[in-house]
Amino acid sequence: MIAVGLLGLVLGLVVTYLVLDIPIPAEWAPYLSLAALAGLDTAFGGWRAALEGRFHPDVFVSGFVVNALLASLLAYLGDRMGVDLFLAAVVTLGGRMFLNLSLIRRYYLNEISLKRQRG
């Protein structure tokens, strides 16, 4: 299920880049990159929740939208105040993303270990 979502994401990015060629203003780059990082954080959090049997689509979608908007808003407000809030959001989201990835990796390593013990 998660692989289908990741495949759709990659396919959508490739098609958008190769076919549509939509120009994005340079001023938007920090906000869009932060929104993308927030989206990746949410995706890995959803993957982790699915592995733990706690996945709820409504929580996932609302988390995706709210995280992306909040991270972009923090970067925008930081720009207006002259403070690098962008970095705070990157550190926070990056840390959570790595935590989720480490827990996902640990889950699969435990599954492999259990299969070896049984087999």
Give tens-digit pLDDT for 70-92.
888 888 888 889 888 888 888 88
Q: 24 Cβ partners below 8 Å, 6+ apart? A: 32
Residue 2: inside a domain: no
Residue 15: inside a domain: no
Residue 45: inside a domain: yes
Pairwise pLDDT comparison (44 vs 13), residue with the higher score = 44
Residue 41: inside a domain: yes
For residue 109, name the pLDDT band (cuts at 50, 70, 90).
very high
Residue span of the structural domain in which 109 resides: 27-118
Structural domain tally of the chain?
Answer: 1
Residue 7: inside a domain: no
Q: Are 52 and 111 in contact (CB under 8 A)?
A: no
Pairwise pLDDT comparison (51 vs 87), residue with the higher score = 51
* Structure confidence at residue 19 (pLDDT): 82
* Structure confidence at residue 2 (pLDDT): 60
Residue 109: inside a domain: yes
Mean pLDDT, the chain, integer: 86
* Structure confidence at residue 111 (pLDDT): 93
Residue 99: inside a domain: yes
User: pTM for the whole thing?
Assistant: 0.76
Pairwise pLDDT comparison (18 vs 107), residue with the higher score = 107
Residue 17: inside a domain: no
